[in-house]
Structure 1
Amino acid sequence: MTTADVHTLTGAYALDAVTDLERAAFTRHLAECPVCAGEVAEFHATAAKLALAVAASPGTRLRSRVLSEIAETRQLPPVSTFRPQEHRPWRTRAIIALAAVSAAAALVTGGIGIGALQSNPAPVTQIAEPAPEVFTVRASGTAGGSVAVTFSRQRGEAVVIAQALPALEAGHAYQVWLIGPRGAQSAGLLHTGSGTVTAALTADVDRIGITTEPATGSPHPTTPALARVSLT
């Protein structure tokens, strides 16, 4: 390419209508030729003015048309690497924000609509699930320490957290009880004064208690409750 040929590329370069080799060569030339640099700047300004001169605001019915097409066009699902675990703690699930996210972009030219972009159109309806109500109640132990219960009636789950309960004698454990009209149902064992028990929470359970039992557990409470928490 001769020097004269390079000078003729100012318009094409400004409109990005050159090859990669021509762009590289002309970029180097611009650093040495203020005349071409000035012409390129003028072409850029002219191109911008021409674009503004023919620009038009979208019609008032375009938004309605786009939203109508979205409702009838199957959306591709997001790619996810998440793998659900069989025993994911319910507290982790409860704090995950449930949201339905919808995004759409449309460019309608030459009679081409959004429906042409996807095949097998089908109505899509997204309903956001309301977050469950979660409550936490606390109580002090009769001999020291404390117990906190975080629960959700909607989820039907409860987490019992014991802290600094008195030290246990050998061969004993703390047993957590779900208490209601049917009596006391075991929810699990704590072998130290601090720990966590997760339990299914039925609608009729209105209290949770903790007693001292043999290390293997008991079918029903055999000692007075060291802590009792009301869920009402």
Structure 2
Amino acid sequence: MTTVDLHRLTGAYALHALSDEESVSFERHLAGCEPCAQETAELSATAARLGLAVAAPVPPALREHVLRRITTVRQETPGTTVRVSPVRAGLRAGLLSRWALAACLAAAAALGGTTVWQHQQAADARAEARQASRSADEIAAVLAAPDARTRAADLAAGATGTVVVSQSRDKAVFVVSGMARPPRGKVYELWFDDAGTMRSAGLMDADRGDQTVLMRGNVDGASGMGITVEPAGGSTHPTSTPIALMAFPG
């Protein structure tokens, strides 16, 4: 493995995606490469914040429901082989799928305050889950990109922010910790800085101080990003002085 190859493994190492042999080689490389050591530390911190941002407690009712249902399922005798007809196999697969969906919807209901047994709410939860899954996949792809670069900064009121940029994917991810709630009726909006012209990059969740946001749109040569306080729903251009400006890592 060449030195150039090792320089490209910072993201994969931070996400524990290397084989044992590759990890050993990369750790030897880290001992003598300060840029890779710093980048790996920043990516590891970003990945940890990402995990915290998407973590959610399991609702107590879900555990009780699963334990109650377990008592109705007969356990197979060890060492026996059960032949299942294609029809029964299909029914069993469908049942498992429904159980998996019910568990996902129960978690979504705990977060959103809706009931999973109402058809419309269930449909909405499924759509939101699909969107969240796509967003999480894109975030993970940016963090794991070989050319991912990070820059961290202290924000107002003790908050900290880290931006991760991948030029190959033309995307940016913003990770924030300890962000104060915006004023009532307001929201934080992210912006790409295109040589002094601000381009909207989406809204932050006003109810979460710790979050990971896939910035909307492509980086497209932007030199940095900004955060402003905007009316609920966001604005097409900044209406307030930025509360934070960060240059993208080179």
- Highest RCO, 1 vs 2 (Cα 8 Å, sep ≥ 6): 2
TM-score, with normalisation over the residues of structure 1?
0.44
TM-score, with normalisation over the residues of structure 2?
0.41
Tell me which structure has the larger Cα radius of gyration. Answer: 1
